Amino acid sequence: MHYLKKERWEKGGSSVTDEKLFEGRRSFIKLGAAMAVSTATVMELAAKESVPAPDLSYKNDPNSMDLTPSSYGDITSYNNFYEFTTDKKRVKPLSRRFKTEPWNVTVDGLVEKPFTIGLEELRRFPLSERIYRFRCVEGWSMVVPWIGFELSALVRHARPLSGARYLRFETLYDPGQFPDQQRTLFNALEYPYVEGLRMDEAMHPLTLMAVGLYGHSLPPQNGAPLRLIVPWKYGFKSIKSIVRITFTETPPLNSWQRAVPAEYGFFANVNPEVDHPRWSQKRERLLGSFFKQKTLMFNGYADEVAQLYAGMDLRKNF
Amino acid sequence: MRRALIALLLLAPLGFLLFHLFVSGAEDPIKYIYTVSGGTALTLLYVTTSLSLLRRAANFVRYRRMVGLFAFFYAVLHLGNFLILDMELDLKMALSETLDKPFIYLGMLSFAILLFMAVTSLPRLFAKYVRYHRLIYAALLMTSTHFVMAQKALSPLQWGMVAVMALIGVLKLLQRTGRVRF
């Protein structure tokens, strides 16, 4: 592993958001919400819906896969966020007063020098729009125009030691804000929520640390202020409201694997050939359409990521 | 009159379902139909068996057949949702899914029992088959397991439902063994 040698984020001043562009974001907004989004379809949707005015500056996604984003309303009112409730529609009202400021993320474990970084600083990583498919293990999916920076940039910034082979992520633990964390008996999961990635997955250019969607900062129900997005994995891998990232030598035990090890593995790659013991994964229902569509291998990102799992038995390593 | 009122009450979940599907709009309609039809069928099955527990306080036992048939009606909606909307009438896939997933075949077995009971609830057949109607306890057990297995994790409300189901089960057992007279 040579991650230490590639300090692209530190060297490449040009990849950081241009200060002029950053300062000029007000006038940018005045041009209208439609300017901030990339495709005609999105513009139409944005015009119809009450999408908050963009407050992030970022590089647009050319949308080479020609995906049509789900509506802002669907994306922000149909959420799995078990810390609030297992009811997808109640997350939005319950999370309305979620406090995202101040917000710090601690990076520790096998790194040269552990540190804590604030949100403002994190947002200085080059932001880009990524229109990704997003598929839940429960069999529904949506297309989300995320805004975020590549996790690889943060990994390089952290200078992991050579023994670091995995990343462990942790969601905020705050029973005062999360109703399900107050329950000790009938809680849906053990908290804090934990997820993990292998180093090569974390370094993959598709892997995103999202800070927004539809040009706007993430709403609480979508994992404000910072969440992980790994588009070829089931949704539960993309941990929300991250407060800690730890570099480890061994694979971290993710929350769902801890809760039901027979049903959820470490990798959680979208795979139509491997069923969840209770739900078929062959097809999925895209939010907003009535009938189901076929699920694609690695959620449609096989060309980009299949080589990460070459030689692995994906039935065992699910 | 009373019968019509009860029928109306039993149709309310369907009205609720249709309203949400066609007026207010459900994000995941197929899942929503599963939840409402399945939840109603399960609840009505428990109501059917509990009516005899309340016999002294309020004798609703004469409506038992009607409630049971409504439970069957919601079970038909539930199965129809599976076959028509979810599997899109791909019967081969429906069969392989059923054989593959324990919670689905538990549901199918329960449905078979309900179908049998619905058919033999016709007056002439009922006298002959009434003793087999005790199969409802098997259906209750399997449907309850089916419900629990279908959840990713049980919410506090669902834990409450499981507790109520267990309580009814215990009371029925006590009643059946004659230890307590209701």
With a cut of 60, say whether residue B124 has pLDDT above it: yes
Closest CA to A161 of A30, A49, A249, A222: A249
User: Which B residues, 7 through 66, put their C-beta within 8 Å of a C-beta on chain A?
Assistant: 27-31
Q: Is B91 touching A (CB cutoff 8 A)?
A: no
Contact yes or no for A264/A280 (Cβ under 8 A): no
Q: CA of B103 to nearest chain A CA: how many angstroms apart?
A: 7
- Judge: A186–B150 Cβ closer than 8 Å, yes or no: no
A251 preceded by a cis bond (ω within 30 of 0): no
Cβ within 8 Å of residue B131, ≥6 positions away: none
- Judge: B155–A285 Cβ closer than 8 Å, yes or no: no
Sequence length of chain B is 182
Span B18-22, average pLDDT:
92
Q: CA of A236 to nearest chain B CA: how many angstroms apart?
A: 12
Q: Determine the residue of chain B that is closest to A188 in CA distance.
A: B153
Chain-centroid distance of CA A227 in Å reads 5
Q: CA of A300 to nearest chain B CA: how many angstroms apart?
A: 22
The average confidence (pLDDT) of chain A is 88
- Judge: B27–A89 Cβ closer than 8 Å, yes or no: yes
pLDDT value of position A35? 47
pLDDT value of position A22? 54
- Pairing mode, if any, of strands A140-150 and A283-286? parallel
* CB nearest to A140's CB, from B28, B85, B149: B28
- Pairing mode, if any, of strands A283-286 and A293-294? antiparallel
Span B145-159, average pLDDT:
93
* CB nearest to A285's CB, from B30, B152, B159: B30
pLDDT value of position A118? 97
Phi, psi of A117 (to 5 degrees): -125, 140
Phi, psi of A135 (to 5 degrees): -125, 130
Burial of A262 (0-12, 13-18, 19+ CB in 10 A): exposed
Q: Determine the residue of chain B that is closest to A264 in CA distance.
A: B152
Give me the residues of chain A with pLDDT under 70, please.
1-49
Partners of residue B155 in chain A, C-beta under 8 Å = 85-87, 186, 188
Q: Is B103 touching A (CB cutoff 8 A)?
A: yes
Which conformational region is residue A145 in: left (phi greater than 0), alpha (psi within -120 to 50 degrees), or beta? beta
pLDDT value of position A146? 98
Q: Per the confidence metrics, is the pTM higher than 0.80?
A: yes
Closest CA to B104 of A138, A271, A315, A277: A277
Quote the percentage of chain B above a pLDDT of 90: 73
pLDDT value of position A11? 40
* CB nearest to B149's CB, from A78, A138, A278: A278
Contact yes or no for A269/A262 (Cβ under 8 A): no
- 3-state SS class at A161: coil
Q: How far apart are CA A206 and CA A145, in angstroms?
A: 13
pLDDT value of position A19? 53
Q: Determine the residue of chain B that is closest to A278 in CA distance.
A: B101
Q: Which tens digits make up the pLDDT trace of B59-77?
A: 888 899 999 999 999 999 9
Closest CA to A275 of A238, A314, A309, A235: A314
